[in-house]
């Protein structure tokens, strides 16, 4: 589905950073993730060959790295977020910024329009844009929080498929455990991003993503190192880990 990208630049000219940084980041992440976890991918054939918006479930700070380890390196994968006022603060934010794989936006500086343009440019250039549709982490392998309308809006705005992606097994990051990445069938948007169309597409996406996570059991917490790694960069709005796995 080509959408409105008739004048798009080729994928090799996706903006934000030299390609070498993305290669270095992707290869390093793959090595680190697969040395600690077993990554199993289901439904890889559902991935569109061209640009797409990927909406993934989100339990842990490591979820984006799991996706980098699980998905093909091309088309290039980018992530919408994080919500940060200053991407130069903190080691994690500096690394994210250096990699060129993120589309950050500053919620306190009315930057959403600019972030939307950057996201649209990535899709027009042939890249994939991954978004944590819940907007925050949660506890519970079968839990899915209400989705924001951003995933549906970007898909409608750029006329690209919307793909639900369930990440299970990151509730606790235990050495040698299997993390499952289950890719659902793409949802093809129709029409323009009106309120009605966005709401309808968001509902379809929520039902599809909920079905993908519905069969994965909660696991017991690991030892001290696994607990530490699990919570290393987690930011719980409640101030501490909530939910059934706590």
pLDDT in tens, 151-186: 999 999 999 999 999 999 999 999 999 999 999 999
Mean pLDDT of 106-123: 77
Using pLDDT thresholds of 50, 70 and 90, give the confidence band for residue 83.
Answer: low
- In the predicted model, is pLDDT for residue 92 greater than 70? no
Whether the Cβ atoms of residue 144 and residue 134 lie closer than 8 Å to each other: yes
Cα separation of 207 and 164, whole Å? 10
Cα separation of 51 and 25, whole Å? 20
The residue ranges of every structural domain in the chain are 40-97+107-123+151-230
Using pLDDT thresholds of 50, 70 and 90, give the confidence band for residue 90.
Answer: low
Could you tell me the pTM of the whole model? 0.86
Helix (H) or strand (E) holding 206: helix 195-213
Return the number of other C-beta atoms located less than 10 Å from residue 13's C-beta.
10
Cα separation of 191 and 213, whole Å? 29
Cα separation of 176 and 96, whole Å? 26
Residue 39 three-state SS: strand
The per-residue pLDDT for 143 is 95
Using pLDDT thresholds of 50, 70 and 90, give the confidence band for residue 114.
Answer: confident
The per-residue pLDDT for 73 is 87
């Amino acid at each position: 589905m080509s959408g409105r990208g008739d004048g798009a630049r080729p994928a090799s000219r996706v903006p934000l950073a030299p390609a070498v940084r993305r290669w270095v980041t992707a290869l390093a992440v793959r090595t680190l993730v697969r040395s600690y976890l077993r990554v199993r991918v289901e439904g890889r054939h559902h991935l569109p060959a061209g640009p797409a918006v990927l909406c993934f479930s989100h339990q842990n700070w490591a979820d984006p790295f799991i996706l980098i380890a699980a998905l093909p390196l091309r088309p290039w994968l980018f992530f919408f977020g994080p919500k940060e006022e200053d991407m130069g603060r903190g080691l994690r934010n500096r690394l994210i910024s250096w990699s060129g794989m993120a589309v950050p936006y500053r919620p306190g500086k009315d930057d959403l329009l600019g972030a939307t343009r950057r996201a649209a440019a990535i899709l027009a250039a042939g890249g994939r844009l991954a978004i944590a549709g819940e907007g925050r982490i949660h506890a519970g392998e079968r839990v899915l929080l209400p989705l924001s309308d951003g995933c549906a809006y970007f898909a409608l705005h750029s006329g690209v498929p919307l793909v639900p992606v369930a990440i299970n097994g990151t509730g606790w990051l235990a050495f040698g455990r299997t993390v499952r990445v289950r890719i659902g069938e793409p949802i093809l948007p129709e029409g323009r991003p009106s309120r009605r169309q966005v709401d309808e597409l968001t509902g379809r996406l929520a039902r599809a993503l909920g079905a993908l996570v519905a069969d994965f059991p909660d696991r017991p917490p690991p030892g001290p190192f696994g607990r530490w790694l699990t919570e290393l960069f987690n930011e719980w709005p409640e101030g501490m880990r909530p939910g059934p796995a706590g």
